Structure 1
């Protein structure tokens, strides 16, 4: 079996490549000069194809004779200035892929979405796969782009594709992976004093990959699944992390007025090009919300046993490979 993975050089895509390499020949779509660092220790050969999801011609060529596509390519940013680029990469890129698959007769797609695609609302605390998208001030441009990308996948399903959509929460990889999704560790490593009042939903990347693999093996086409281990208050989450890292945990609850002051400081630093801090009004508000992502749908199908959070933190610190 031949498997094409878009975003194979990224965090989640690289781990998926290592896992799915056990059942098929992996082909990784990559842009020119993109780093292959995360796949240096892959136990399976990666056949690289130079291309871009924004270039339909290269996509069509890459899809020749493929049996399965894993779409893990995408842009993650919470900077309002990146809205246009987010729509281009996440929405147009997915549209191009779906169209190319339909044209080439490649029917099976695993689409890596995000829990952000569920939307956010101040009136809703709990979300599952049946939650309906609601327009609100809590939906970031990134969330909107992932939601619209999903719509393109469902459009493809109506036109003949078989799709499995997975929606990971905060993915916990290794610190050495040096990706945006692992930046959360640095908040504790730098011994910041304040913690947000809200909750964090998370999953070990190894669990996310294993669940995706098992759902594929069970043929869960036409379904979407939230990949989330647990929900914790940031206070408890950071305390567990600090204990594992041998650092002082944040001990002061972040108040709204302090958050507003922080936004002003970060805004000035960004204007002076002294900071790339992702904090903005939307991300600040979301960090103060209690949001609970349900994983019952996965559990009903797989009865999955998750890696304990403490073990995840210890592994995140290590220099060993996956």
Structure 2
């Protein structure tokens, strides 16, 4: 960790938080993005900005020149698309292979690959890193399962020193544009939940994930997976309680039966195909999340990395505080400064 670090997807929620955490610890950071004209997420940050498109091998070769540690964060994160195979699964799978092949060509010494607890799955019990999900109906879940499997195959074939980290649903600051997870919190904040879908998500603060990734680069054992999550999941009532710490008065909506959720999801998906806008609820999400807790055993990350996430209650309260603050003054805490652009051409 004494050399240059490349963070792909550096303008995203996790990527941008990781860039800040690395800089805060004194590391040299190169921030890989697809749009190098957007400097807002990097205002005040002493980092290099480089074009890095996972499907562009020549651009990856340039971005990885002189890099010691690759933090592979970039990925398509969405659950709905008109053509999910072409828009979600294939980009994540092909992008994984190409960036790891480029890392091998560049002689990168360490790779921290970001997967997801989607690749572990959930069944209401405390699952650990030895478990692999076999769910394939949801395009995003399928993409994360196949991509991490491809990453391990590439790492073995290319002799890469790699660890993978598996975050749960990330919440917190530095979300220039809202992810699906932060969008869900925003819906709760705006009191737009007509009913309780019975989903229990495992929330973790994005800053704790970034810290866990740095620890994985420094302490993680090559060839190992590390779950970066909380032990237990949170029902909608916990989100409402966290939101009410800022604006009291939001009451728990009534619970929706499974048949109603499936009917709403069916209508949502058909409407989304007609208008080309994302469905707010998918059939695969109902089948995945309704009345199933997402519980994880994070003993390995705690013992080997020193991972110690803040509680779900604190993470949610701070995430809602961020959303309230951003609604009035985006990027309010960032000083203005120029960002060094390393590459302005899309090779």
Q: TM-score, normalised by structure 1?
A: 0.88
Q: Which residue of 2 aligns with 1:111?
A: 113
| 1:271 shift after superposition | 4.0
Can you list the C-alpha shifts for 1:160-179, whole angstroms capped at 9, x where unaligned?
Answer: 11112111100012386432
- Asked whether the 8 Å contact 2:67–2:108 carries over to 1, the reply is yes
Partner of 2:60: 59
Shift of 1:194: 1.6
Q: Which runs of 4+ in 1 moved over 6 A?
A: none
Q: Which has the higher contact order (CA 8 A, sep 6+)?
A: 2
Q: What is the CA distance between 1:297 and its match in structure 2?
A: 1.3
Cα distance change, pair 35–250 in 1 and its aligned pair in 2 (3 A): farther
Give the drift of 1:227: 0.8
Match of 1:174 in 2: 173
In structure 2, runs of 5+ residues without a counterpart are 326-331, 335-347
Q: Is the 8 A contact 1:3 1:66 kept in 2?
A: yes
1:257 aligns with 2:259: yes
Q: TM-score, normalised by structure 2?
A: 0.82
CA distance in 2: counterparts of 1:30 and 1:255, whole angstroms: 42
Structure 2 Cα separation of the partners of residues 153 and 264 of structure 1: 34
Q: Quote how far apart the aligned CAs of 1:54 are.
A: 0.4
Answering whether residue 34 of structure 2 is matched by residue 31 of structure 1, we say yes
Cα shift at 1:312: 2.8
Kindly indicate whether the alpha-carbon contact (under 8 Å) linking 1:51 and 1:59 is maintained by their aligned counterparts in 2.
Answer: yes
2-side partners of 1:302 and 1:218: how far apart?
6
Contact 1:266 1:275 in 2 (8 A): no
After superposition, residues 240-255 of structure 1 pair within 5 angstroms as: 240-246=241-247, 247-255=249-257
Q: Does 1:224 align with 2:225?
A: yes
Structure 1, unmatched stretches of 5+, are: none
Q: Number of residues paired by the alignment?
A: 316
Q: What is the Cα deviation at residue 34 of structure 1?
A: 5.8
Query: What is the distance in 2 between the residues matched to 1:208 and 1:102?
Result: 25
> Which moves more between the two structures, 154-163 or 215-224?
215-224
The structure where strand makes up a greater share of residues is 1
Question: Equivalents in 2 of 1:23, 1:222: separation in Å?
Answer: 27
CA distance in 2, matches of 1:6, 1:176: 15
Q: CA deviation at 1:257?
A: 2.1
The 8 Å contact of residues 11 and 176 in structure 2, kept in 1 or not, is answered as no
Cα pair 1:245 1:313 within 8 Å, conserved? no
